[in-house]
Chain A
C-alpha cells in the first residue's frame, strides 16, 4: 500500500492550521481590512450584450469632482488581462461584448455614494446582433470572435473508428447537455490595492493564484516584476471562481489606486458577483457508439462543445480536460473525440471545480446507461465489461500502470449502497404510493495535476525555511481557501522532518515572500506541491547535517537548536525544490496523445433518489461515494472535501439553474439561485481506497475536484431508474421532470391507441 514506514502525521486528522481563528471569528478576510485614507471603488458595466459605445454622459445631481473616475485611457500599460490570449480588455473602450462588461471605474471615500453615481452614468450604445447559445455560435451568424467564433478545438483519434460501424450489433446515439453553474463562494470577490511610486502596486485580496494576478498587473500597469506585489488574504471559498477572475478586480482597484494615490477597496455585492463573474462552461456532448450484443464498446465518436462566453480566458484548458475525460474510465479500442470551445456574448465562463470533466463525464455516464438499456444489459454489467484494466490504454493511449481493479471497486460500492436490495424493494414499492424511487451509478476518473507537459511548463518552486526561533516555515504560493492547503503541506513537512506538526507553519502567500509553486488549481497541491515541500524539507535537513549542526537521527529540540545555530551563523536558512518531470513521460500536444496526467483517481458513486409524484421534485435520499485517491493525507479533511463536492454536485444536478436573459444572469440573488441548505443534503457515506502514487507526496493523488464529477450522472441515472424516463440535461428541475412525465404518458397513450 502506502509508505514503507509508519507515518503518524500524514494520514492523521491533525487540526486545521488556521482553524482556531476561523471558529473564533478572528480570521481576517479582505472586507475585514481597512487602510487609512482608503477609497471604495465601484464598476460601471455594460447593460447590453454586444455593441459599440456611442457616448457616455455623467448625469446631473452628482458632485463628480469628489469622485475618482477611471477609463481605458488611464491604463498605463496594456488594456488587457494577461492570461492566455490578449483579447479580454480590462476596461471596454469602444465596444462591449457581454452584459456586465466593465467600462468605467469610480472611487469615493464614502461607499454609500457610489451606487447613485453608477446609476447616474448613462451610456448610449449602437447595439449589434449577439449570440447566446452554442448553436447560435456554431451558425456563425454573427461572428463575434476572430474568424469563426471558435476559441479552440481538439481532435483525438485512436485506432480506426471508421472500421467499427460495420461490425456493430448496436449503434447507440445520444445528446447530453449541462448548464452554467455559479461557484457561489459565500465570500464575494474583493481586493484592496495600493500604489506607491517607489514600491509600485500592492494588492491584497480573496484569490487562488497570486502569481496570475501578479502577471496580469505587470502588463496592465506597465510595471516590472519587483514593483508588483500580490498578497492573498483569508479566502472564503473559491472553487475555481477565484482562479482567473481576481486579475480583473485587482486590475480595477489598481487603476483607481494609481490615479488617486490612495488605497482603494473594491468588494462586489452578491448581485454583482453573480452577474458579472465567471461560471462553469455550459456544454453539449454527442455520443455515437458501436456496441456488440454482449455490451462491449467496439468504438465510437464523441463530439463535445463548451460555451466559453465572450473572451478566451481559460476555455482552451477547460476544453482540454473535458476532451481527455470524455471517454470516462472505459477501454475504447477505437475512438474519435472532436471538441471545441465557442464564443457567445455572455460574461466569460471560467474555472469551476472539475473544469470540463463534470460536463464530459455527465455525458459519458448517462450514455453508458443508454447503451445498457439499448443492448438489454444492466448498468452494472455494461460498466464492468468495459472498464479499463491495468495494461490497457486510455483514449489518449496512456497505459494504466497501477493495479486498479474497477470491477472490484464497483462491487464494493454497490454492496455499500445495498444496490441490489434497494432495486428489488423499489420495484415493488414503486407500484403504488406518492413517490417512485430509483438507484443510479456513476463510474469515473479524474486526472490530477496539469495536463501533459503542463507541470513542466509551470516549473513550480517551493521553499522551506528554518527560522531563528527554531521553527520551520513553508514558502509556497499555494493558497488555502478551505480545502486544507495549509494543514496538509504542514503535515507533509512535519512528517518529512520527523518534527511535531505544531512546529511547522506556512507563510502567507505574498509574491514578495514566496516563490511561485504554481496556481492552486487542478487538484495538484497535495500531490505535486506537497512532493516539492517534502523535497525542500529534506534539503533543509541535509544543509544542517552537512554543516555539522545536526546528526542523521535527532530530536525535535535538536532540530530547533540546529536551525537557531545556522541562522545566527549564516543569517538565513532556506531550501528550495523545483519541479522535475518524471522520467519516461511523453505527451504529444498536436495529436493529444500520451501520458495526459501523472495520476488518475478513480471512483464509483451510487445515488438513491426519490421522485415525488405530486410535485415532480427529485430528492437524493442516500449517497455512497467510494474513491481510490492514492493516500488519505488527513481523514477529516479528505472526507470534508468529498462531502462538499458531492453537495455541489447535487446542486449541479437538481437545483442550480442560471436563468439567462440575453446573456445576463437574471436570477442573480441567493433567493432565486438555489443551492442546497442543511435541510436538503442526504446522508453521504464516504469511503476511500489507497493504491499510493509514486508521483505524489506520500502517495497522494488529487481529490479536490473528483467529487464534482460523479453526482450528476448518478442522480439522473437514478431518476431514470425510478421513472423509466431518460433525462439528458442538467440541471434537472421539477418542471423538466414534469414535462418528461407528460411526454412519456402521451407516448404511451399513442402507442396504446395504435394497438386499438
Chain B
C-alpha cells in the first residue's frame, strides 16, 4: 500500500514537471490559425481608433484581429501595409517570423487581401509642426500576422 502511494506521488511529480516544462518553454502558436476575436475592414479599424482610442484599445489591443483591406505596400523585411491610395491612414501588419515570414509573396500591391494578427498598437497622427512624425496619418499596428486563407 505504502509503495503504491509513493509511486502515485512520483507519477504526479513527473506529470507536474512535464506540464510545467511545457508551459515555460511553450512556443508561440500560429495566430493566423486561431479563431479571431474580431473581423473588421482596415478602414473600420482605423476609424475605431480615431473615434475613441480608449475604447478601441480595450476592444482590439492584444486581441486576434482578422483585417481585410487593400494592399498598399509590401516590405519584404516582413510587413504588409493596408490602406487606400491618397490616404495616409494605414494598418501595418508585421508578418510572423516563424510561420508567415514570406507571406508577402502571395500578395500584390493594389489587390485586396485578408490578414490576421494580434493588434499591438496605434499611432495617432500628430499636427505638431515641430514633430518630425507629424502628418503621417493614423496607423494601427498588428504583430505575428499572416495571410488568412478564406475558403
Whether A associates with B in a native complex is no
Chain B residues engaging chain A, CB cutoff 8 angstroms: none
Chain A residues engaging chain B, CB cutoff 8 angstroms: none
